[in-house]
Structure 1
């Protein structure tokens, strides 16, 4: 650990804090990349959970001390599947292996994320993709970037020409939510050009922020898989609401991130 990270510095600007957070997230990503390659076999739910925990622990062993050193008074969200509002003050919302199950299956769609939340508003976020080396960053009020290049959502104004995406929020989802997900996919298959369905949510949201896809929606969900992308999309010029077009909060039952030109049409599709 470097001396600058060992010494707490509450006077750091948010921009400097973002840079140091990005360095920690990249280091954690490198550790996970070393574990990536072969499909991890498991024969029971217990073995699966153990393999997932091993990846989490590898990344957290780097992230937790480094981020705590940066903000020693900030809280730490222990469970990346938690949702709802946080108490006031600063909190680290971290997903040490976003798309962890993909990592175990030697699939490339996984990342490491860290977001600082201040009084329930995301202040900064880092999303690092270790296999490509790409790092997405956003600072509230200062834009969203991919490796220093500014991001902008798409200019698509017709949902029928748009690529949209959704994701499964968590395993063992409530039956009502599962049925709602299925019906929404069917509706979007009629109204959008292409519908993509995969985990994790964060990678879909980086695509919306980068203008590669036009909208992403999800029912239910956790802070750790929505907050990073929500800040990225907002800072890239997109709209974040619930699936009925109302302001989104971590307590909302649905989530929609979209380019402004297709947002209203996406809400209409998801609510009919």
Structure 2
């Protein structure tokens, strides 16, 4: 059964969610160092979990209280469709691996997903203070300024990106990533391969990049960017060309003018 809500109801929630995410961002910023923390794998994993736990301590309850009856998607690396209803899909430290290595590509994200479609999102970058927001049907914004995707129509002029969704993917996925990067290097202008996905997707939404693809169904890395790009006028599908949702197995978000060409290159059998 559909749980569709009026746009005004979702829009009214945005201020509260933005405040909660910015508060959580201060916690993550206070934990940041400009040098790498951890040498062994165990040490790095410990730092990553410590970041997650610290942010969730201040973020989880405010979000659940903001939307009564909503549920929490526990595993940030999980993929696939969620049960019907409203779920918070949150990454308390999107780009956590960058944070613990003293780099600056990280954020706090919170997205309300309704019946497997993102309907509201906040992406906050604590080091710059920038906040990206979107509500389904209401456009995408950066610090209140409307965002619009690139107007490019030539893939040969496009800045495009991809990245690894999670550690320990199977060898087939890694080879598929490698083959797709090669294909895009041949057909595009420049290819960025980096993590996390959200930090590339905000650039697509803002028209700074032209496309991003990923062979993954990890929800927390895609829901925020999917909504931002679509609300900024972009096209977001799976590689079969079907509208993307949390149950999709792969992902392509791009400026409309290059989407068909990019999808053909990434899915030669399409």
| 130-139 or 248-257: bigger deviation | 248-257
Query: In structure 1, what is the equivalent of residue 207 of structure 2?
Result: 211
Picking from 35, 39, 46, the partner of 1:39 is 35
Residue 245 of structure 2 aligns to a residue in which SS? coil
Deviation at 1:16? 1.9
1:152-179 per-position Cα deviation (integer Å, ceiling 9, x unaligned): 0000000000100001110011110000
Give the deviation of 1:271 after TM superposition.
Answer: 1.7
Matched, 1:56 2:14: no
> Is 1:242–1:248's contact at 8 Å kept on the other side of the alignment?
yes
> What SS class does the counterpart of residue 217 from structure 1 fall into?
strand
What does residue 4 of structure 1 align with? none
Instruction: Name the Cα RMSD after superposition.
Output: 1.2
Tell me if structure 2 keeps the 8 A contact 1:170–1:221.
no
Gaps of 5+ in 2: 1-7
Q: Find runs of 4+ consecutive structure 1 residues off by over 3 angstroms.
A: none
Structure 2 SS opposite 1:232: helix
Q: Secondary structure at the match of 2:141?
A: strand
Whether contact under 8 Å (1:159, 1:192) holds in the other structure is: yes
- In structure 2, what is the Cα distance between the partners aligned to 1:38 and 1:195? 27
TM-score (normalizing by structure 2): 0.94
Q: Which residue of structure 1 lines up, in the alignment, with residue 236 of structure 2?
A: 240
Q: Pairwise mapping of residues 158-173 of structure 1 onto structure 2 (< 5 A)? A: 158-173=154-169
SS at match of 1:63: helix
1:103 equivalent to 2:95? Answer no
- Among 58, 72, 75, the residue aligned to 1:76: 72
Alignment length (residue pairs): 261
Which whole-Å CA distance do the structure 1 matches of 2:249 and 2:205 have between them?
22
Contact kept, 8 Å, 2:29 with 2:126, in 1: the verdict is yes
| Cα shift at 1:220 | 1.2
The equivalent of 2:265 in structure 1 is 269
SS at structure 2 position matched to 1:128: strand
Contact 1:81–1:221 under 8 Å retained in 2: no
Give the whole-Å Cα distance in 2 for the aligned partners of 1:188 and 1:220. Answer: 18
- Per the alignment, residue 87 of structure 2 pairs with 91
Q: Does 1:190 align with 2:167?
A: no
Unaligned runs of 5+ in 1: 1-11
For residue 44 of structure 1, report the CA deviation from its aligned partner.
Answer: 3.4
1:245 CA displacement: 2.0
Deviations 1:170-198 (A, max 9, x none): 00111100000000000000000000110
Equivalent residue number for residue 4 of structure 2 = none
Task: Tell me which moved more, 179-188 or 57-66.
Answer: 57-66
- Number of the residue aligned with 1:260: 256
Counterparts of 2:81 and 2:258 in 1: how far apart (Å)?
28
Distance 2:143 2:15 in 1: 11
Match for 1:14 among 7, 10, 13?
A: 10
